[in-house]
Structures are given as C-alpha cells and as structure tokens.
Amino acid sequence: MKPVLLSLFLILNIGFLYAQETLQKDAIIITKKNDTIKTSIKISTYDIDDEVFIHGSDFRSKIRLSNPTDKKFIPSEDVKYLEFELQGNKVEFVSVESVPELSKYKMPPLFRRMQVGKLNWYKSYSWDNYNFTENFLEYFFLSGQGVHKIGMFNSLQKQLKKITQSKPDLVPKIESINKVFVLGRDKQIADVVSAYNNNK
C-alpha cells in the first residue's frame, strides 16, 4: 500500500483500530488575563506501538477540568498557555496570539508547541464530524521568514529540505522520516529540528 494511502487508512480508522483512553493529568494553565491555574485536566489519548498520541482536537474549544472543586471546563479561547506531562515529556499548547508568525491562522485558538529555536515547529488539530477522525496540520518557520504549512497531502520531506537548505547534511535524516503519518514520525521530525537548531 502506498504511504499516502496507508496514512489515510490509519487516520480514518484509528478510532476503530486502537483503544482510546481518557487520562487525568496535572496541568498548568495561564489565562489571557494572566491568571495561573494549577489543576488537573482530562485528556484523550490512543496508543500505537507503545507510542501515545494526544487527541489534540479535544482542546479546540475547551479544556476539561477534573478537579471536583473546579468548574468543569475553561474555554480554549481564554487560555494563553497550557502545560502537562505525558510519558515523561512536557506537552505545551499556546494561544495563536502568542506566536506572531501564526497570527493569520485564526483557528484553532490553541496550537501545540513542538519545538522552538532557529527552526520552529507547531501543530494544530481539528476534528472531522463527518468521518469521526482527527486531522492535523504542521507549521514550520525560521525566525523572520514565512510559515510553511504542511498537511496530509503535502510533501513534508520536500518542504523540510527547502527550509533547511543551509544545512545539507540533514538531507539523510529528512529522507528517513516515515511517510506514514503516525508511526514514529514525530520523533523523526523532532530529530531533524533538534539537529538544525543545535548545528552551529
């Protein structure tokens, strides 16, 4: 099966192929009024080959709170920063207003911050009510340059080669990124972005 078709199959069937789980996680929320809230939130995840993925679209409209003394949710549009930990790694979501380069993208209100540095990487999530699937877009940009928005049918490898053309030694890493949209792919992208940012 071709990589793009396999990606489509996995994305469309992920809810049926893999068990979903709701977890409670300690979190820090900073509101747009600069109030800091230490609380517990509910997140939905699914597990593929020991890699845990977040249903980021859960945060598209609201953040569900699990503390009984708290209100049930906080509207995402009121949040400037969200942080929690998953499998020992810090997960961060930031408001679109916090990232000037993404300001023209009005929705969703929160973007996942994957890595920042000379090369920046963000991700946004959406939910398809028709197919009952989660979709995502990825955004890469160098400071002071335009944003490369990459969706399911864009060539990630081609775009990353263009962005990192000043570091040709990264080409083998870029070409080794899994073309299937889930299995190990984020870790491979992170390796390329880290290598670029750490390369003097």
Q: How many other CB atoms are there within 10 angstroms of residue 95's CB atom?
A: 21
Dig out the tokens for 12 from the structure. Answer: 């469309």
Specify the pTM.
Answer: 0.83
Residue-wise pLDDT tens digits, 142-187: 987 889 998 866 678 899 999 999 999 999 999 988 776 556 788 8
Sheet strands side by side (includes 148-150): 51-54, 36-48, 20-31, 79-86, 89-95, 110-115, 119-128, 133-142, 148-150
Residue-wise pLDDT tens digits, 48-99: 555 566 767 678 888 988 876 667 889 999 999 999 998 888 999 999 889 9
Q: Which range of residues forms the domain containing residue 23?
A: 3-198
Residue-wise pLDDT tens digits, 88-128: 889 999 998 899 888 887 678 899 999 999 999 999 887 76
Please name the residue ranges forming H helices in the chain: 3-17, 156-163, 171-175, 185-198
Please name every residue paired with 85 in a beta bridge, in sequence order, or none if there are none.
90
Residue 64 contacts residue 27 (beta carbons within 8 Å): no
Instruction: Check whether the bond before 108 is cis (ω within 30° of 0).
Output: yes
Task: Give the total number of structural domains in the chain.
Answer: 1
Phi, psi of 60 (to 5 degrees): -65, -35
What is the spatial distance between Cα 138 and Cα 151, in angstroms, rounded to a whole number?
7
